[in-house]
Chain A
Amino acid sequence: MLEHFSFQYPFTHNPALNDISFRLLPGKTLGIIGPSASGKTSLLYAIAGILQKHFPAGITSGTIARDGTQPVVNPSEIGFVFQDPYMQLSGVTETVETEIAFSLEQLAIPQHIIRARIDEQISQFQLGHLALRHPRSLSGGETRLLALACETAKHPRWLLLDQPTESLHSEGIRFLTTLLNALKLTTNIIMVDHRLEVIAAVCGRVLFLHHGEQQFFGTPPELFTSAIDTNELDIPLWIDAQRQLTGRAETLLYRKSLRMLQQWH
């Protein structure tokens, strides 16, 4: 869906994205990884159509297509969760419930369906105890879940997530992983994250960006076994341990690799 796609922000000297090409098959989940400032968020913006709409002075080359056409910002089709979830709150609602309703109201969804969606999101994200709290009174992790709930309430075709596990505890990360695995059955998910164990657990494909250039595109196991330089990535440590011992990753599973390490001589 991307072919030799490059993009340079206005007033900058280097392209933020440089010659990126990949094709994501329907139903496959994509994880975008890479060190800071490697163009991950810009790529998400490009897929959402935000770059083309909000940075029209940027220099674009190559082609990009979502569902076969040039991406446009279509709120009913795209759910987008920003890295800073506080920024995403509408700021004009007083409860978690009405916050979830906000974008549905904008999309003119009938009232009874809005109510059904709110109940659905609240049970799915286990926000029941927070339903009547003020959105600004929530903690960082709770706000992140709320931002995600607001976006999935639209039942989007595409869900784009920018660092969804940041500021979550391991318990929250586990909850989110299960949730994303359930969501990916009905939605196309593209996520950016530092935590490779989450990417490996959720995504069928990984794209590794470095300074805006595509270093790798393939499945998570291929990434861990490939010879590319992954020094700047947070490789799960049980995989790193295997690689340091044997030079390659035999297995991606924690238990299996532990057994392997135990028997290693």
Chain B
Amino acid sequence: MRVICVRVKFHPIVFITLLLFTFAATVAGGLILQLSLVVVFLSFSAFIKRRRAFWKKMLTFGIPLALVLVILNDFILTSIKPEYMEQGVHYALRFLTLLTCLLTIVHVTTPTQFALGLRSLKLPHRLNHIFLLSFEVFDSFRTIAQNVSTAQQLRGFRIRKNIFSRTKNLFPLFFPVVFSALSMSLDRGIAFDLKGIESPVSKTYLLEWKPTALDKFLSAFLLVLSFLVIVF
């Protein structure tokens, strides 16, 4: 039996506590802490991926969203004053931190690794599958969106270059993607049923992954850190 390579050294429990920490930090932390977190996560992701496409995606989606947050904040508080502006920037940064943290985690793990990790935490397997299937749904959404977009262009649909028309072009994609994903879900449900996902007996696993001492230490450290951030 061959050994299956595991690319990432850290157990998902580390990532879960990392998320918790980021959440605590964004809610309680100051501007500088948040800015540095964004920079850390972005450079970490970029280091792992080393891809220009990643940066492009970040900029196409992250910046408009952040801007929207700033503007919304201003609108809600009606009159635009410097301190409200600062608050808006604050919200935007919080959002960006969480987004980059999540993206980093998604980038460095694969669904299988996450599944292995969650199993070893002795979570109910139903929870595991919900988690895995949502991963899977995103993946199939992406593939379908890609295929449909190619097919539309092959039938003469023009895709324009700038960001705003691109966002506009997402709408005609939306319907077929959601619809075909839904229509597939019935068949997939049947397929999973036949694979025995609902069988009530406790499952056995081919591969297992226990957290190491380093994993335990790191997650404990992050927990303490998030506690400290909240308290102070």
Interface residues of A (CB under 8 A from B): 48, 50, 53-54, 73, 75-76, 78-80, 82, 84, 87-88, 90-95, 97-98, 101-111, 114-115, 118-119, 131-132, 150-151, 154
Given contacts A105-B203, A106-B196, A108-B202, 4 further A-B contacts (CB under 8 A): A54-B189, A75-B195, A78-B194, A104-B206
For the complex, give the distance between the alpha carbons of A98 and B206 in Å: 8
B187 touches A94 (CB 8 A): no
The residues of B with any CB-CB pair to A shorter than 8 Å are: 1-2, 4, 110-112, 115, 132-133, 135-136, 139-140, 184, 186-197, 199, 201-207
* Contact of A103 with B196 in the complex, beta carbons under 8 Å: yes
Provide the main secondary structure of the chain B interface.
Answer: helix
Q: What is the minimal beta-carbon distance from B115 to any residue of chain A, in angstroms? A: 6
Q: How far is the CA of A118 from the CA of B2 in the complex (A)?
A: 11
Give the residue of A75, A87, A95 whose beta carbon is less than 8 angstroms from that of B199. A75
Residues of B within 8 A of A90 (CB): 192, 195
Docked-complex contact B206 and A115, CB < 8 angstroms: yes
Cβ–Cβ < 8 Å partners of B1 in chain A: 115, 118-119
Contact A105 B206 (CB under 8 A): yes
18 A-B contacts (beta carbon < 8 Å): A53-B193, A73-B193, A73-B194, A80-B191, A87-B188, A90-B192, A91-B139, A92-B112, A92-B115, A92-B135, A94-B112, A102-B195, A103-B196, A104-B206, A110-B204, A119-B1, A132-B2, A150-B195
A50 and B190 in contact (CB under 8 A), knowing A98-B207, A107-B196?
Answer: yes
A114 pairs with B206, CB closer than 8 A: yes
What separation, in Å, do the CA atoms of A40 and B205 have in the docked complex?
A: 36
The smallest beta-carbon distance between A40 and chain B, in angstroms, is 16
A93 to B110, CA, bound (A): 9
Residues in A neighbouring B187, C-beta threshold 8 A: 82, 84, 87
Query: How far apart are the CA atoms of A203 and B184 in the complex, in Å?
Result: 31
C-alpha spacing A48/B199, complex, angstroms:
16
Best-surrounded residue of B135, B140, B184, B194 (most CB of chain A within 10 A):
B194
List B contacts of A150 (CB < 8 A). Answer: 195
Q: Which residue of A lies closest to B4 (CB)?
A: A95
With the chains together, A109 CA to B196 CA distance in Å?
Answer: 12
Say how far B107's CB is from chain A's closest CB, in angstroms: 16
Contact B136 A101 (CB under 8 A): no
- Given the contacts A50-B190, A73-B194, A111 and B115 also touching, CB distance less than 8 Å: no
Closest to A89 in B: B191
Task: List, in ascending order, chain A residues with CB within 8 A of B188's CB.
Answer: 87
**Does the CB pair A111–B194 fall under 8 Å?**
no
Q: Is the CB of B203 within 8 A of A87?
A: no
* B199 pairs with A106, CB closer than 8 A: yes
Q: Which residues of B contact A131 (CB under 8 A)?
A: 2
Q: Which 8 pairs between the two chains have the least Cβ-Cβ distance?
A: A75-B196, A106-B196, A91-B136, A103-B195, A101-B206, A92-B132, A108-B201, A94-B112
